[in-house]
Amino acid sequence: MKIVNCKVIVTCPGRNFVTVKIETDEGVYGIGDATLNGRELSVVSYLEDHLFPCLIGRDPQQIEDIWQYLYRGAYWRRGPVTMTAIAGIDTALWDIKGKVAGLPLYELLGGRSRDGVMVYGHANGLDIEETVDEVAKYIDLGYKAIRAQSGVPGIPSTYGVAKEKMYYEPADAELPTENVWSTEKYMNHVPRLFDKLREKFGFEHHLLHDAHHRLTPIQAARVGKDLEPYRLFWLEDAVPAENQESFRLIRQHTTTPLAVGEIFNSIFDCQQLITEQLIDYIRTTVVHAGGITHLRRIANLADLYNVRTGSHGATDLSPICMGAALHFDTWVPNFGIQEYMRHTEQTDDVFPHDYHFDKGYLHAGSAPGHGVDIDEKLAAKYPYRPAYLPVNRLEDGTMYNW
Ligand code: CS2
Ligand code: MG
């Protein structure tokens, strides 16, 4: 079997997605997600100009060898653009392998470890009352786990608080919008949100929260301690994790479980966090961490240290990534939870898929490969539109983390 053609499909059914399609001489094809929010076209160039020419004529069944060739062969290893491009190819190759074998991807990985994949949805509101109402809606929809974010009094806009409740989309402008942030105001507010949620709904549901890289280690330690009575499932991205040692300090002070890793792209970004058991959940996912081949390595390392998976699943990860992630989650022994932000109907129409939601769980489906396809004719109706995530400044104008 040989690879005869590779292409990239860029489409914007409400938001931008980059898709790799690999075709073989036997007519079987595979697709993979290669979307990097706000830097989409860099990945397109990396694929078209540098990787695709190396693939023509290769045996698509040799996934490991191709992965090593693309990773080691670049000389310049790692980085989000490189690893997202490799992920797009890797996912497409696993899709091909599944189709050739006539087996769903989770069977190729080692078979089913669970019946369904527990997911968490996103509840958010301009204030605590609105967030409480949104959490109630997710409970009614059957979710077992809900992430809660609320606007902070005195700050005009807050991370995670959206106008469009079911379809949160932060990449909303042709040039980055500027937000204002105050950690002090946030820190006073966030325990009140969870106090209210536990008072209203009790302790039956898992509650999660994302601090979106905005705290210093000692601030994160304080927030973790303040939230302890509310038994969070996790506190996410408490601090930027470039400095992995930061987590030592947080860990010394709080038993609130910690999750990190949605912006990591390699096992080396989480090596210290995992081996020193400084986190509880690793959030790397298929599209940004080198595909199934590399994510499996990260999960295996994590398993040795009792760290569980909790893959990123925001709307900027296409349904192809979600499909592949669900197969991965169905197999991975040290599964924790999967993030699930619903895609718009427009997006779902472009990417017909086999997975479905039922009573708080997503089910990967049993179609061969990862079970997601792309309607190229429909995709062509939605051309690329520049769209960026916001940036953040402190109240005095200092540039900060968004
Ligand atoms: C996030 C995302 O889902 C999450 O936890 O932090 O909303 C993130 O901001 C986007 O995926 C960025 O592209
Ligand atoms: Mg996050």
Q: Looking at the CA of 341, name the nearest ligand.
A: 1
Rounded distance, CA 223 to CA 211, Å? 9
Pocket test for ligand 1, best of 159, 262, 315, 317 (most atoms within 8 A of CB): 262
Rounded to 10 deg, the angle between the 80-101 and 63-73 helix axes is: 170
Question: Cα(4) to centroid of ligand 1, in Å?
Answer: 35
Rounded distance, CA 278 to CA 257, Å? 10
**Cβ atoms of 244 and 266 closer than 8 Å:** no
Rounded distance, CA 50 to CA 8, Å? 13
**Cβ atoms of 276 and 248 closer than 8 Å:** yes
Using alpha carbons only, how large is the chain's radius of gyration in Å?
Answer: 20
Rounded distance, CA 291 to CA 285, Å? 8
Catalytic residue, chosen from 29, 138, 143, 159, is 159
The half-sphere exposure of 383 on its side-chain side, counting CA atoms within 13 A, is: 0
Question: Cα(314) to centroid of ligand 1, in Å?
Answer: 6
Rounded distance, CA 326 to CA 340, Å? 10
Q: Identify any residues that bridge with 178 across adjacent strands, giving them in sequence order.
A: 391
Name the helix (H) or strand (E) containing 109.
helix 105-109
Q: Identify any residues that bridge with 207 across adjacent strands, giving them in sequence order.
A: 146
Sheet with strand 29-33: strands edge to edge: 3-11, 17-24, 29-33
Q: Is 100 a pocket residue for ligand 1 (Cβ < 6 Å)?
A: no
Name the helix (H) or strand (E) containing 393.
strand 391-394
Rounded distance, CA 299 to CA 330, Å? 13
Rounded distance, CA 218 to CA 225, Å? 11
CA distances in angstroms from 280 to 201, 255, 274, 335, 374, listed in the order given: 25, 10, 8, 11, 35
The C-alpha torsion from 260 through 266 and 267 to 272, rounded to 10°, is: -50
Pocket test for ligand 1, best of 169, 264, 312 (most atoms within 8 A of CB): 312
Catalytic residue list contains 212: yes
Q: What is the token pair recorded at 310?
A: 């909790």
**Cβ atoms of 121 and 136 closer than 8 Å:** no
Q: What is the token pair recorded at 241?
A: 């994790």
Catalytic residue, chosen from 122, 212, 288, 353, is 212
- pLDDT of amino acid 169: 86
Residues of the chain with pLDDT under 50: none
Helix (H, G, I), strand (E, B) or coil at 397: coil
Residues 6+ apart with CB under 8 A from 296: 109, 328, 332
Rounded to 10 deg, the angle between the 291-304 and 63-73 helix axes is: 90
Rounded distance, CA 358 to CA 365, Å? 12
pLDDT digit string, tens, across residues 180-224: 999 999 999 999 999 999 999 999 999 999 999 999 999 999 999
**Cβ atoms of 267 and 294 closer than 8 Å:** yes
Q: Catalogue all structural domains in the chain, each as residue range(s) with its CATH number.
A: 3-103 (3.30.390.10), 109-368 (3.20.20.120)
- pLDDT of amino acid 48: 98
- pLDDT of amino acid 122: 96
The half-sphere exposure of 381 on its side-chain side, counting CA atoms within 13 A, is: 10
Helix (H, G, I), strand (E, B) or coil at 100: helix
* Nearest-atom index, ligand 1, CA of 171: 13
Q: What is the token pair recorded at 126?
A: 């301009």
- pLDDT of amino acid 130: 97
Catalytic residue list contains 138: no
Rounded distance, CA 326 to CA 357, Å? 11
**Cβ atoms of 104 and 364 closer than 8 Å:** yes
- pLDDT of amino acid 157: 86
Percent of residues in the chain assigned helix, strand, coil, to nearest 5: 40, 20, 40
- How crowded is residue 396: how many other Cβ atoms within 10 Å of its Cβ? 7
